[in-house]
C-alpha cells in the first residue's frame, strides 16, 4: 500500500562507495570531541577524558569539489577526521565485537564555526549552529573494510593552499575505534548508515573563502575541495 505525504519527503543523503555503483545511505552523524591528546591540549583540556559526543544532521554530508563558505562566521575552522561507517545494528555491545559492526571508512572534515562555538560555550549553550550547518561535513568516498581492513595506525594530515596544517597518526587517538563504537552503542542504537567522525589531531585553524583544502589518511584515501566565496549577510 502506498503512503501519502502532505509534502514530498527529503531525499536520503548518500555517499559514493569505492569500487561500487551502489551508494551508502547516511542515517546519523556522530562526532567525538577531543580524541587526540595534542588537540585536547591546544583547546585547553587534559590529555585523556571520558569521550563525549556531538552530532551533525545527515544532510550535512557533501561530496563536491566546491564547498559553500557558511554564513554568520568570520572564523571557520578545519578539522580532518577518520570517519567510520556503521554497517550493522549495534546496541550495548562490547568493544571486542565493535569492528564486526563496521562497514567501512572515509576521510572527512568537520567544518566548525569556531567563533559561534566559543560564544555558545561561554553561555553554556548547545553547539548546533557551530557544527551542524549546511555542507559542514565534506567526505571522501567510502572504502569498505572488506577491501582495506580496519586501520589502527597511519598518518592523518590536512593542508590549506599547500601548507601543512594538521599532521598526526591514527595511533594517537585517545579512544580507539572499538572503544568509541562501544561507548556510542550504550547511548544510542547504532544503525547501518551511521557515520562516526573519530576526532581530529592538533593544528586546527581558520580557512578563508577560496582556500583549497587537501587531506588524506594513510591506507584509506584522500579528500580535496575548495571553499566558495563568503555569502552576503
Asked whether residue 10 is assigned to any structural domain, the reply reads no
Residue 21: the pLDDT is 97
- Of 25, 12, 201, 218, the closest CA to residue 103 belongs to 25
Residue 189 has pLDDT above 70, yes or no: yes
Query: For residues 39 and 166, which has the higher predicted lDDT (pLDDT)?
Result: 166
The answer as to whether 132 is a domain residue is: yes
User: DSSP of 107-149, one letter per residue?
Assistant: EEE--EEHHHHHHHHHTT---HHHHSSTT-EEB--BEEHHHH-
Assessment of whether the complete model's pTM goes beyond 0.75? yes
Which structural domain, as residue segments, surrounds residue 175?
A: 18-227
Element (H, E) at 41: helix 37-42
Residue 2 lies in a domain: no
CB count in 10 Å sphere of residue 154: 15
Is 5 a domain residue? no
pLDDT in tens, 101-125: 999 999 999 999 999 999 999 999 9
Asked if residue 153 belongs to a domain, the reply is: yes
Residue 52 lies in a domain: yes
Digit-coded pLDDT (tens) for 4-31: 999 999 999 999 999 999 999 999 999 9
**Domain assignment of residue 37, yes or no:** yes
Bridge-partner residues for 155, per DSSP? 169
CATH number, domain at 82? Answer: 3.90.850.10
Q: Decide if pLDDT at 38 tops 80.
A: no
**pLDDT > 90? residue 42:** no
The count of structural domains within the chain is 1
Percentage with pLDDT > 90 across the chain: 88
Amino acid at each position: 500500500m502506498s503512503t501519502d505525504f502532505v509534502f514530498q519527503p527529503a531525499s536520503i543523503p548518500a555517499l559514493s562507495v569505492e569500487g561500487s555503483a551502489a551508494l551508502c545511505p547516511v542515517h546519523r552523524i556522530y562526532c567525538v570531541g577531543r580524541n587526540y591528546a595534542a588537540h585536547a591540549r591546544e583547546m585547553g583540556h587534559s590529555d585523556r577524558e571520558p569521550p563525549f559526543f556531538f552530532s551533525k544532521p545527515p544532510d550535512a554530508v557533501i561530496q563536491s569539489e566546491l564547498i559553500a563558505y557558511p554564513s554568520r562566521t568570520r572564523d571557520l575552522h578545519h578539522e580532518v577526521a577518520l570517519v567510520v561507517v556503521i554497517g550493522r545494528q549495534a546496541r550495548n555491545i562490547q568493544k571486542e565485537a565493535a569492528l564486526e559492526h563496521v562497514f567501512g571508512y572515509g576521510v572527512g572534515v568537520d567544518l566548525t564555526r569556531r567563533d559561534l562555538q566559543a560564544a555558545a560555550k561561554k553561555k553554556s549553550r548547545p553547539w548546533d549552529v557551530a557544527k551542524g550547518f549546511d555542507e559542514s561535513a565534506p567526505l571522501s568516498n567510502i572504502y569498505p573494510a572488506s577491501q582495506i581492513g580496519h586501520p589502527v595506525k597511519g598518518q592523518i594530515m590536512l593542508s590549506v593552499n599547500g601548507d601543512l596544517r594538521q599532521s598526526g597518526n591514527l595511533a594517537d587517538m585517545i579512544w580507539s575505534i572499538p572503544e568509541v563504537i562501544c561507548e556510542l552503542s550504550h547511548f544510542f542504537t547504532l544503525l547501518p548508515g551511521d557515520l562516526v567522525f573519530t576526532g581530529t589531531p592538533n593544528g586546527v585553524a581558520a580557512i578563508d573563502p577560496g582556500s583549497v583544502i587537501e587531506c588524506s589518511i594513510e591506507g584509506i584515501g584522500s579528500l580535496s575541495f575548495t571553499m566558495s566565496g563568503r555569502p552576503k549577510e
